[in-house]
Chain A
Amino acid sequence: MESLTNRKVVVSDKPMTFMEKLYIPAIIKGMLVTFRHILMRRKTVKYPEEIREFAPVYRGMHVLKRDEQGRENCTACGLCAVACPAEAITMTSAERTKDQKDLYREEKYASMYEINMLRCIFCGLCEEACPKEAIFLTDRLVPTQFERGEFIYGKDKLVESLDHRIDITKRQFTGKRGTI
């Protein structure tokens, strides 16, 4: 069969020569290899003091965006839930009343929106499916919890707060993927 890589080695069980039987040359060769590693530069990132930068396209915890006037973009169309390969997203829709006009951008909104962070595989397909620029993946990490139930994130954790907007431009405008 034709070799796929150039790393193929034919294994032979020929008897060892005298030099090989001495083992000492091989041991010295091995020790020189380890000595070279002593002198090498360490690649360790000393975590609490140094934090390694995320890739610009890093896909972390989701955010449900609001528009400039602070209204939620999501209209609970369910496309993200359909797109989700892990079936992590579930939602219920409701109709906007007159006095909620400054809360939700369109007539329909998500009264309940949950992402199970244990199911989520952070593929970003929900973000691509969303027609309303409502859901985005950010460079934030999902924090650890002790209970499984705490990983089901409702709107309280997902929707960005009015006075603390989440910046999504870093991931969206890298030039490495299509723009929104």
Chain B
Amino acid sequence: MDTFYWIDKLVLVLVLFLISLGIAAYQTYFERKLAGWIQDRVGPDRAGPFGILQPIADGVKMFMKEDFTPANADKWLFILGPGIAMFTSLITSSIIPWGTDLQLFGRSISLQVAEINIGILFAFGIISIGVYGIMIGGWASNNKYSLFGAIRASSQMISYELAMGISAITIIMISGSLDLRAIVESQHGMNWNIFYQPVAFVVFFICALAETNRAPFDLPECENELIGGYHTEYSSMKLGLFLFSEYVAMFVSSALMAILFFGGYNFPGMDYLKDSPNLLSIISVMVFFAKIFGFIFVFMWIRWTIPRFRFDQLMHLGWKVLIPIALVNMLITGFVVALYEHWF
């Protein structure tokens, strides 16, 4: 625990914070571009070349808007809501191993902010706190649409958290660790978990869509029935924080999926680069980000393809389909793992 350790971590935290926000900002741009392409439109193309400055224009617009608090709203909770939503989305990125260690200044620098050995539990804990931001925001607005949105968000969270957790347990059983770094290391090269657990991946992916409130599970904020749901009463940068936290959450859950099922920063042929750890580190970070961007693309692709679920369909899918599938999958995995360890 020397000073260099703290400097490393501080720099890493700062860089991660900036990267998360930057990626979230450009996700909004890419989302709109992709929506345009899918609908045979051009998408935003006025701000800068190809509309590349659009997120900045949007941010400026958000800041310039009047920050309005409804008369009967609970003022402190109203402020707390978007804060929690943003905080929980950002904090999860601290436990994610972004790449192999860098060798700089004669030291080995780990590209992971917090190397805690219960990383996956921490991630699930934080993700489930994320819904409190939505709930508090919806409740404090003192508006029935917001409240509906908040209730939907929380019931959706409860239904999908279970199946998500159970499908993650199968991964824990295979790799035998709760540490995200260990889970990634166990998928060295091309030995990814997706080849062993495709069913768990499908369940996890659907649940991740639901957890991040993305279409087709964007019931808490559906524009048509709930006029924006939990953020109906929000304006200015508070609304911006809510929308932003959704994109950060999408980024982080894509990272989690890449770690649990697609080998994190592992890529085939990484053993050839053993002699140059820095090159390996840089390439591994890039590979990891490529996987994340792939997931983000699929998230958006799905959003602009599939219509929204009805609420009873959502509950039916969660409780009667995904949880049984995840449970059966977990039992089979446990059985096979037990057999494998005792008889082979």
A residues within 8 Å of B by Cβ? Answer: 24, 27, 30-31, 33-35, 37-38, 40, 42-44, 46
B38 interface neighbour in A27, A38, A44, Cβ under 8 Å: A38
Shortest distance from the beta carbon of A38 to any chain B beta carbon, whole Å: 4
How distant is the Cα of A30 from the Cα of B301 in the complex, in angstroms? 10
The majority secondary structure among interface residues of chain A is helix
Task: Determine whether the beta carbon of B306 is less than 8 Å from that of A30.
Answer: yes
Indicate whether A37 sits within 8 Å of B39 (C-beta atoms), given known contacts A27-B306, A30-B306.
yes
**Main SS at interface, chain B:** loop
Which residues from chain A contact B42 at a C-beta distance below 8 Å?
Answer: 42, 44, 46
- A87 CA to B306 CA in the complex, in Å? 50
Q: Which residue of B lies closest to A31 (CB)?
A: B305
Are B41 and A38 closer than 8 Å at their CB atoms?
Answer: no
- By the criterion CB–CB under 8 Å, are A40 and B40 in contact? yes
The answer, yes or no, to whether B237 is at the interface (CB within 8 Å) is no
Contacts of B302 in A (CB 8 A): 31
**Contact call A42/B301, Cβ cutoff below 8 A:** no
Contact with A along B301-337 (1 / 0, CB 8 A): 1101110000000000000000000000000000000
Is there a chain A Cβ closer than 8 Å to B195's Cβ?
A: no
Minimum CB–CB distance for A3 against chain B, Å: 29
How far is B202's CA from A38's CA once the two chains are assembled, in angstroms? Answer: 24
Residues of the B chain whose Cβ atoms lie less than 8 Å from the Cβ of A44 = 41-42
Looking at B40, B41, B45, B305, which has the most chain A CB atoms within 10 Å of its CB? B305
Report the separation of the CA atoms of residues A27 and B317 in the bound assembly, to the nearest whole angstrom.
15
Q: Which of B15-61 contact A (CB under 8 A)?
A: 34, 37-42, 45
Q: A44-B41, A44-B42 are in contact. Are A38 and B34 (CB under 8 A)?
A: yes
A44 to B37, CA, bound (A): 11
Pairs A–B under 8 Å by Cβ, sample size 16 = A27-B306, A30-B306, A31-B306, A33-B305, A34-B301, A34-B305, A35-B301, A37-B37, A37-B39, A38-B37, A38-B38, A40-B40, A42-B40, A44-B41, A46-B42, A46-B45
CB distance from B182 to the nearest CB of A (A): 32
Task: Determine if B305 and A30 form an interchain contact, defined as CB atoms under 8 angstroms apart.
Answer: yes
Nearest-neighbor residue (CB-CB) of A28 within chain B: B305
Chain A residue at smallest Cβ distance from B42: A44
CA distance A30 to B303 in the complex (A): 12
- CB contacts (< 8 Å) of A46 on chain B: these are 42, 45
- A-side contacts of B45, CB under 8 Å: 46
Q: Please, which residues of chain A bring their CB within 8 A of the CB of B306? A: 27, 30-31
Interface residues of B in 34-91 (CB under 8 A from A): 34, 37-42, 45
